[in-house]
């Protein structure tokens, strides 16, 4: 074990923590040395995450963050927004590599953070100075290779941005985008609430935070970085869906009337043809949650509409597992890139069928 990367997980009792452990416990280059939390202290991992019973003798501990990362090479932070920023401030001087799954260091604009997260950021200089690299390998792979601190993208942000990325890279994305995306209940966390309790969700569809979801500025920042016009805007309506895992996003954008099917096919192939976790769907089918649930894979596709005036409508579809590519899996993918490991390590297996 001496040559393995020593990893610590802070915030290990949630669904995101469970998914990180499900992957890292089988990572050939990693030894998980410590797991901390604020609940279930002293319990074994398998007593809280039943699918991991018997796979590790580690227990959940409670200790100050600086003490938790002592001796570690990397720490994965799987805590709520706002809480995480304070922890990062405490451990930055330790020199440990950080992979943060919260939204606290994704944005570069402190004012946008304050608007969408409801509080002033405790360390705004780390938003503006590039301390954290945005952990989307399909966009920032080279920067992630050189990074010590990674801010892993949000689940909606990953789904929607990956659905639109070919248009952004091709310089065809400008003006308003309209997106509706449905998400599974696991994205709301392990503790049941009135809107996530299964008897109330299993037969229901409802929206929440329409036009004001905190991933809106993150999506726009990502698409502009990829090459989209600066006048881009996004109207986003998230939907709570009656399934445990998965996100399905439908995004509407207008492109020049001269745009052809062949041109868009080429853009999607150029953007994703060599990406290990992106599947371009065609041949009469469109992306589906069941094709990616439980895995780190993403399905993307599009439909090009008829010419209307000087534009054509493109409807972009994208789907992924919110806990894997939308959370823990993407964080481990960036970790693999950062450490020089094969990007697919402990992530290559497909999801379940059905």
List the catalytic residues. 155
Q: Which residues, 6+ apart, have CB-to-CB distance to 156 below 8 Å? A: 181, 183, 213, 215, 219, 236, 238, 247, 249, 326
Task: Count the helices and strands in the chain (H runs, E runs).
Answer: 12, 14
Q: Which of 10, 6, 27 is nearest to 332 (CA)?
A: 27
CA distance 190 to 197: 10
* CB contact set of 284 (below 8 Å; sequence gap of 6+): none
Q: Which two tokens stand for residue 114?
A: 């304050």
For residue 354, whether the previous peptide bond is cis, meaning omega lies within 30 degrees of 0, is yes
SS3 content of the chain, % helix, strand, coil (to 5): 35, 25, 45
Conformational region of residue 284, where left means phi above 0, alpha means psi within -120 to 50, and beta covers everything else: left
Distance CA 6, CA 20 (A): 14
DSSP codes joined into one string, 11-68? S-SSHHHHHHHHHHTT-TTEEEEEEE-SSSTT-BHHHHSGGGTTS---BEE---HHHH
Q: Give the angle 193-189-298 at the CA atoms, nearest 5°.
A: 130
Q: How far is CA 252 from CA 51, 152, 167, 343, in A?
A: 39, 25, 11, 31
> Residue 171: how many CB atoms within 10 A of its CB?
12
For the chain, the first-to-last Cα distance in angstroms comes to 37
- Residue position matching structure tokens 């439909």: 303
């Amino acid at each position: 074990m001496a040559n393995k990367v020593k990893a610590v997980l802070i915030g290990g009792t949630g669904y995101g923590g469970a998914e990180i452990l499900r992957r890292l416990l089988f990572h050939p280059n990693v030894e998980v040395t410590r797991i901390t939390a604020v609940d279930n202290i002293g319990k074994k991992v398998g007593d809280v995450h039943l699918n991991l019973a018997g796979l590790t003798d580690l227990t959940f501990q409670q200790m100050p963050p600086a003490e938790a990362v002592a001796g570690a090479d990397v720490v994965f932070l799987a805590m709520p927004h706002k809480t995480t920023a304070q922890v990062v401030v405490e451990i930055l001087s330790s020199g440990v590599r950080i992979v943060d799954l919260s939204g606290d260091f994704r944005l570069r604009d402190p004012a946008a953070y304050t608007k969408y997260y409801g509080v002033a950021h405790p360390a705004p200089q780390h938003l503006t100075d590039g301390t954290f690299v945005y952990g989307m390998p399909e966009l920032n792979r080279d920067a992630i290779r050189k990074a010590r601190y990674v801010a892993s993208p949000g689940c909606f942000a990953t789904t929607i941005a990956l659905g639109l990325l070919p248009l952004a890279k091709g310089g065809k994305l400008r003006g308003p985008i309209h997106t509706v995306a449905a998400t599974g209940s696991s994205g709301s966390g392990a503790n049941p609430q009135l809107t996530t309790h299964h008897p109330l969700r299993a037969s229901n569809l409802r929206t929440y935070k329409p036009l004001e979801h905190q991933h809106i500025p993150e999506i726009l920042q990502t698409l502009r970085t990829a090459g989209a016009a600066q006048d881009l805007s996004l109207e986003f309506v998230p939907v709570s869906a009656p399934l445990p895992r998965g996100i399905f996003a439908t995004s509407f954008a207008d492109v020049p009337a001269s745009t052809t099917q062949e041109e868009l096919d080429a853009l999607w192939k150029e953007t994703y043809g060599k990406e290990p976790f992106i599947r371009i769907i065609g041949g009469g089918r469109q992306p589906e949650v069941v094709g990616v649930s439980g895995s780190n894979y993403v399905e993307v596709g599009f439909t090009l509409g008829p010419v209307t005036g000087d534009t054509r409508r493109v409807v972009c579809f994208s789907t992924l597992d919110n806990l894997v590519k939308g959370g823990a899996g993407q964080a481990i993918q960036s970790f693999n890139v950062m450490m020089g490991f094969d990007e697919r390590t402990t992530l290559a297996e497909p999801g379940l069928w059905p």
